[in-house]
Structure 1
Amino acid sequence: MAQLLIVVENEKDWKPYYPSERLVSAKDYLFGEHRDGPAGTRVINLCRSYRYLSVGYYCSLLAEARGHKVIPTVRTINDLSKRAIYSLETEDLDALLQRELGRAGAKSEASLTLDIYFGRTSHAALADFARQIFETFTAPLLRVELRHQGKWRISGIKAGSLHRLEDNQEDAFANALDAFSSQVWRKARARKRYRYDLAVLVDPEEKLPPSNRKALKSFEKAGRDLGIDVELIGRAQYAELAEYDALFIRETTAISNHTYRFAKKAESEGLVVMDDPSSILRCTNKVYLADLLRTNDLATPQTRILHVDQRRMLDTLGEELGLPLVLKIPDGSFSRGVIKVEEAGKLRGAAEELFRRSDLILAQEYLYTDYDWRIGVLNNKAIYACQYFMSKGHWQIFEHQAGGRVKEGDARAFPTTEVPRSVIRLATRAASLIGDGLYGVDIKQSGDRAVVIEVNDNPNLDAGVEDGYLGDDLYRIVMEEFLRRMELRRH
């Protein structure tokens, strides 16, 4: 069972709490018997200060050198010391902060101080915000300064100190520590007989997840047959990522949500990650993809990138691209944020609707086909192929109907050997521009013409669809690639 150590700079700092056999002084951790603790030992560093070259700093630094899993990490300590860095990390949290405090009616206050213990806070309206701050900066105690200047913003974040807690704060800290350490113990028990531990990030409530439940079960079985313990995790387990050897994201990815933070955290901890942060950045923005494909001379539909201040281009767009044409926001998925414009008179209204969501949008030649090819590419090799048919009576694969209902077209899987070689070559070339991860390349084929529509990170791998030809071999191929990469990392 993995060992858990709680490190304090001065043992008097622990006086308000129950005695614990897990408690060690910083001096003992640095120079005593615990310096040779087994790799994988969990360390909660509660030293009074983490300033550069302090005792607290060295506890985290040497923990990493010893193969121990420590919070806070040296990277977190350094990030918290540089406002320019954490300002970039928290931009997306400012919007959440504005919504939550606005909903709570706290707009009139000029400032607010939020104490966060292991992702928990006593300010109920900001519970989700506190958890996300902890996901971004995984430190035991955080003090976040919030300021209202036109709207709420994060004005400062710093690590808190155990010895400065007041009586009413000590109970909250103790409860948070107990809950956090209990999670650590529960997680450590289940995975002893496997060579590697792989976390699969899922959201059970997602309406259109990239893998259905049966597929997730197949990944678990394929992994365990190879000596990999495959465990489903949720967004609340961000702080436990360092316990794993790899992360497989099976939620729809976006720069603005926790999936990107998970990918960045996993990469910084040295895990094998699919999808890696760079792939998410590149694939989730259609403007980037359009320019990347154009620059590298890959065949695409005729495409124009439109800026909100260049509305005059709309007047000639129909003549350039023909009608009907398609308008898209850069970060849409599952056929969302896409408008088909049939008449020139409706072009400006459709564009204005999308400009309200993005300063840049795409206009693209409309190519009708009964189906799109989806070529699954892993490590620059095509591993599966599907035809996705348009939803019956609709021009897209997914038709979003009233009441949140989604109607989806049929799909048919093929061996890659039966797909036109021009389609396979185009798919692998497009994927190689993104990286060597797992991608789904969408291609339209009309006669001899084949064009890339987009490259998807986090492609669908559903039981009964993408595995229609390969069956269980599809899941084994993916797990074998994780195993190969984990072996390379280890050796």
Structure 2
Amino acid sequence: MADTLIIIENKSDWEAYYPSENVVTFEEYLDGSYNTGGEDASNKRAEGKGERLRVINLCRNSSYLSAGYYCSLLAEARGHGVIPSVRTLNDLSKRALYRLELDYMPGLLAKKSPPGETNGALKIVSFFGTTINPEYTELARKLFEHFPCPVLEISLVYDKGWKVDMLKIRSHHSLDDSDETAFANALDEFSLKVWRKRRSKKQFRYDLAILIDEEEKFPPSNKTALKRFIAAGKSLGIDCELITQRDYLRLPEYDGLFIRATTSINHYTYRFAKRAEMEGMVVIDDPTSILRCTNKIYLADLFRNNKVPAPQTELLFKGKPLQIELLEAKLDYPMVLKIPDGAFSVGVEKVSNREALQAVLARLFEKSTLILAQEFLYTEFDWRIGVLNNKPIYACRYYMVRNHWQIYQHGATKTASGNFETLPTFEAPKAVLDAAIRATRPIGNGFYGVDIKEKNGTGYVIEVNDNPSIDSGVEDHYLGDELYKTIFSEFLRRMELRGSKK
């Protein structure tokens, strides 16, 4: 578990707040004369083994070559996670730099009311991504994800709609009494370990964050499965904690990240994976696997180039004439149309004639420039082979919904799913297991769920999922707790390997 240091320029800068041994001056940090984590941590520093620290830089001045600038620079040189980072300091020092980031942010201010007494100008102060102005909470959080710093002043202007005009790093020393209270509460919430009583001597060997989405309709793991993951981790000496997207800046506290929210490139799950990888953490799903698995266009090309058995697949381009005639010459009806980034059978439709093909394409092309057309292979069930580090660890048969051709059927108000059967991997056909390994090997050595249709003794790979479902009572039906221990044993192996290289 990472420890936390709050760095200030002068002792007097902390007089308004509770004293803490975690608050040190920049001079003390500079010469290493601080003490966190007790005698053991001090001994490790003396032996040159280093320590896992998160640094909150509260120096008054953060301009170029100031004490605050050198504090962040030194923290990064020492391998400490620091907020704000040198990159953030540099980006916020020039309007032209942070404007580039703002241009890519969603229109969080689009629904805000026109100015009243503000005369078209408004200033919001963000404390660790929170603000005392409730209607700007989402804006403060998003800006904190892009420019993480303790206190950020956000200047808004109104020109046919509100927009962010300027961003400015503020010192906590410049706050008035009411803002000091808001700042202290935000700091307390952001870094509870500053105030929390230290744990007893009995410690877990490693700390693992499990990223979940509490609002997700079809999460990769149900609540019981998450509890079983946590129990499996503890049995292996891994302390697990459920986190959400609000905990983005807490990632350096952990040794590993296990993503149990449905992933996508244009999504916070990918940012979490990238950040974890940059921090040197063990991460599943790793960002490369997310990149390669969440787009069916990429998978289709990968299967073709690596001779992975798969249904015949053709690409359709928006606005390209004559492609329907060319498609019909290659594929027979019925055929299946897919948007590249669909999940849980969303964006997957079967068409049986040209009229239906044209209608579905018109609808799907509103969502994507490219659409996949695939030959239709009917089977009573799809195989799902769980693969971890290029080895099969579980096998399931997912049966089609009754009187339907998919394992999921999405209705207006509810979604139906077919039955399942979980088997030991040695009972799965060799052709299916071989196809699963051939499909995942060029992607990586992560944790994948390979969907396969078996026909005439051949396993045809439909897709590879980078964060396959592990639901209690389904995928674990045969192995039980052993499935959870198998997955977390791989986390343990990788964390130990990472530790041995330091």
Identify whether the pair has TM-score above 0.5, normalized to the shorter chain.
yes
Q: 1:456 offset after TM fit, Å?
A: 0.5
2:393 paired with 1:383 = yes
Corresponding residue for residue 321 of structure 1? 331
Once the two structures are superposed, the pairs formed by residues 190-269 of structure 1 within 5 Å of their partners are 193-269=203-279
**Secondary structure of the corresponding residue to residue 439 of structure 1:** strand
2:52 paired with 1:44 = no
| Unmatched tracts of structure 1, length 5 or more | none
**Secondary structure of the corresponding residue to residue 34 of structure 1:** coil
The answer to whether the 8 A contact 2:7-2:23 is kept is yes
Q: 1:19 offset after TM fit, Å?
A: 5.6
The Cα offsets for residues 88-109 of structure 1, whole Å up to 9 and x where unpaired, read as 76676x22xx2x4222235999
Q: 1:311 offset after TM fit, Å?
A: 4.8
2:23 paired with 1:23 = yes
- In structure 2, give the amino acid aligned to 1:47: C
- In structure 2, give the amino acid aligned to 1:408: S
Q: 1:455 offset after TM fit, Å?
A: 0.8
**Secondary structure of the corresponding residue to residue 476 of structure 1:** helix
Corresponding residue for residue 374 of structure 1? 384
Corresponding residue for residue 393 of structure 1? 403
2:441 paired with 1:432 = yes
Q: 1:362 offset after TM fit, Å?
A: 1.3
| Cα distance in structure 2, aligned partners of 1:2 and 1:423 | 43
- In structure 1, give the amino acid aligned to 2:26: A
| Cα distance in structure 1, aligned partners of 2:201 and 2:399 | 41
Q: 1:217 offset after TM fit, Å?
A: 1.7
| Cα distance in structure 1, aligned partners of 2:342 and 2:485 | 30
Query: Larger deviation: 78-87 or 45-54?
Result: 78-87
Corresponding residue for residue 110 of structure 2? 102
Identical-residue share of aligned pairs (%): 54
Corresponding residue for residue 292 of structure 2? 282
- When the two structures are superposed, what TM-score results if normalisation uses the length of structure 1? 0.89
The Cα offsets for residues 292-330 of structure 1, whole Å up to 9 and x where unpaired, read as 222222222121222212153124423321111111111
Corresponding residue for residue 444 of structure 1? 453
The Cα offsets for residues 443-467 of structure 1, whole Å up to 9 and x where unpaired, read as 1111133221111100011121111
Corresponding residue for residue 429 of structure 2? 420
The Cα offsets for residues 204-233 of structure 1, whole Å up to 9 and x where unpaired, read as 332211111221122112111111112222
Query: Larger deviation: 132-141 or 256-265?
Result: 132-141
Q: 1:284 to 1:146 in 2, by over 3 A?
A: farther
| Cα distance in structure 2, aligned partners of 1:335 and 1:2 | 40
Q: 1:179 offset after TM fit, Å?
A: 2.8
Q: 1:365 offset after TM fit, Å?
A: 1.3
Q: 1:8 to 1:357 in 2, by over 3 A?
A: same
- In structure 2, give the amino acid aligned to 1:59: C
| Cα distance in structure 1, aligned partners of 2:122 and 2:186 | 21
Query: Larger deviation: 391-400 or 314-323?
Result: 314-323
| Cα distance in structure 2, aligned partners of 1:66 and 1:325 | 57
- In structure 2, give the amino acid aligned to 1:413: T
The Cα offsets for residues 369-420 of structure 1, whole Å up to 9 and x where unpaired, read as 11111111111111111111111111111111121x1111111112222222
- In structure 1, give the amino acid aligned to 2:216: E
Once the two structures are superposed, the pairs formed by residues 449-464 of structure 1 within 5 Å of their partners are 449-464=458-473
2:143 paired with 1:116 = no
2:14 paired with 1:6 = no
The answer to whether the 8 A contact 1:318-1:325 is kept is no
- In structure 1, give the amino acid aligned to 2:5: L
Query: Larger deviation: 104-113 or 53-62?
Result: 104-113
Corresponding residue for residue 476 of structure 1? 485
| Cα distance in structure 1, aligned partners of 2:199 and 2:71 | 25
Query: Larger deviation: 313-322 or 151-160?
Result: 151-160
Query: Larger deviation: 102-111 or 291-300?
Result: 102-111
| Cα distance in structure 2, aligned partners of 1:202 and 1:305 | 34
User: What CA RMSD, in Å, does the superposition of the two structures yield over aligned residues?
Assistant: 3.1
The answer to whether the 8 A contact 2:219-2:260 is kept is yes
The total of aligned residue pairs comes to 486
Query: Larger deviation: 276-285 or 141-150?
Result: 141-150
The Cα offsets for residues 155-185 of structure 1, whole Å up to 9 and x where unpaired, read as 6655433345466644432332233233665
The answer to whether the 8 A contact 1:101-1:107 is kept is no
Corresponding residue for residue 186 of structure 2? 176
Q: 1:242 offset after TM fit, Å?
A: 1.0
- In structure 2, give the amino acid aligned to 1:48: R
| Cα distance in structure 2, aligned partners of 1:254 and 1:188 | 37
Aligned partner (choices 138, 141, 149) of residue 128 of structure 1: 138
| Cα distance in structure 1, aligned partners of 2:306 and 2:461 | 12
Corresponding residue for residue 409 of structure 1? 418
| Cα distance in structure 2, aligned partners of 1:427 and 1:20 | 54
Once the two structures are superposed, the pairs formed by residues 19-168 of structure 1 within 5 Å of their partners are 22-31=22-31, 33-34=33-34, 38=41, 39-51=51-63, 53-64=65-76, 66=78, 68-74=80-86, 76-77=88-89, 94-95=105-106, 98=107, 100-106=108-114, 114-144=124-154, 157=167, 159-165=169-175
Q: 1:120 to 1:337 in 2, by over 3 A?
A: same
The answer to whether the 8 A contact 2:120-2:157 is kept is yes
| Unmatched tracts of structure 2, length 5 or more | 42-50
Aligned partner (choices 337, 340, 345) of residue 350 of structure 2: 340
Corresponding residue for residue 298 of structure 1? 308
2:499 paired with 1:487 = no
| Cα distance in structure 2, aligned partners of 1:274 and 1:110 | 46
The answer to whether the 8 A contact 2:337-2:351 is kept is yes
- When the two structures are superposed, what TM-score results if normalisation uses the length of structure 2? 0.87
- In structure 1, give the amino acid aligned to 2:55: V
The answer to whether the 8 A contact 1:382-1:416 is kept is yes
The answer to whether the 8 A contact 1:42-1:69 is kept is yes
